[in-house]
Structures are given as C-alpha cells and as structure tokens.
Amino acid sequence: MKWKRSLCGTTKQERDFNMYTLANKAIFVAVKVAIIALAIASSACQQQYDYPKDGKNGSDGRDGLPGTNGSSCSIHQLANGARISCTDGTEAVVLNGVDGQDAEPGVYDVAEVVDPCGKQAAFDEVLLKLKNGQIMAHFASGANQFLALIGPGNYSTTDGTHCYFTITNTGEVTNEHN
C-alpha cells in the first residue's frame, strides 16, 4: 500500500513526476529487451549463414582456339562513287548522292501552336502549325518517339483528356470536343 501511495503522490506535481519516472523506466526496460532480442537474432543469423571467406585466386585457364584471320579492304575511287574490295572476295560499290533542292527559308518554321481542345491538363498535347500550312504532332509508340506531319482526318489526343478533333483539307483544326 505504501508503494501505491508514493506512486500516486499527494500533489498533482508529485503524481506527474512519479508517472514520468515510471514511464521512463518502462521505456528503458523495453529498449534493453529489444537490444537483447536483436543481439540474439543477429548471432543466430551469423551461425546459420557462415559465408565463405575470399580465397586465393586460382591459376589461369587454357587459351582458346585461334580465331579466323580477318580480311583487309581497299577503296578504289570511281567517277560516280567508290568501289570497296576485300581480300575475302567481297565487294561493294557506293555511288555519290544527288544534291537535293534546298527548302525556302522559313517554310518549316512554326507559325502557330494549336491546342486542339484548349488547356485541359498540366501537360496538354499541342499541334505545331508550320508556315507552309502543314501540321506537326508528337507521336510515341513505346520507346519510339518522333515528330510526324499529319494530314486531313479525325484524331484523338493521348494525354489523358481524350480530346477528339478533325483536321480539314485546308489544314484547319475543327470539331474540338471531348
């Protein structure tokens, strides 16, 4: 009974102090038990899994069989390209290309950014309308991603908004709806 009375105390301050002391002792005992349990578990794991020590390296193995000798190739200039001839008997002819026509300056510049259904998501898909009237879109299929010129037709965005739109024969974006 004396222990109970001293634990309870006579004043609120004494009772709070006694409860605080008791709580600290309980936590201290719980931590000790946890440390002992971890030590036992750790030693049991070490005994169960006796990992081998790294030993001395062994001697090198035998050399493999010799590989096939390679062949060398020579390049012979031609009037319209080059001929590549190799000592193994293979041969290839590479012709010079034809210089293409340069595009007009600015034809492929972006004239307008078109958001087919208006701002609907943080990363909204958009179309790029070029100065020459063509429309460019981003295309993704797995790891393959590239820009593609798209023509007249019905399309849907893939940004999660599932916006459907139409590109007319004149390059206008219409029927912007979800």
Residue 23 is predicted with a pLDDT of: 55
4 — pLDDT class (breaks 50, 70, 90): very low
For residue 149, is it within any domain? yes
For residue 26, is it within any domain? yes
Q: Give the domain range for residue 25.
A: 2-48
Q: How many domains does the chain have?
A: 2
**Higher-confidence position of 5 and 41:** 41
CA 80 to CA 103: how far, in whole Å? 25
CA 162 to CA 157: how far, in whole Å? 5
Enumerate the H helices of the chain as residue ranges: 2-8, 12-48
For residue 142, is it within any domain? yes
8 φψ region: left (φ > 0), alpha (ψ -120 to 50), beta (else): alpha
Tell me the per-residue pLDDT of 157-177, one tens digit each, with 9 for 90 and over. 887 778 888 999 988 888 766
For residue 57, is it within any domain? no
For residue 87, is it within any domain? no
| 73 sits in which H/E element | strand 73-78
pTM of the model: 0.41
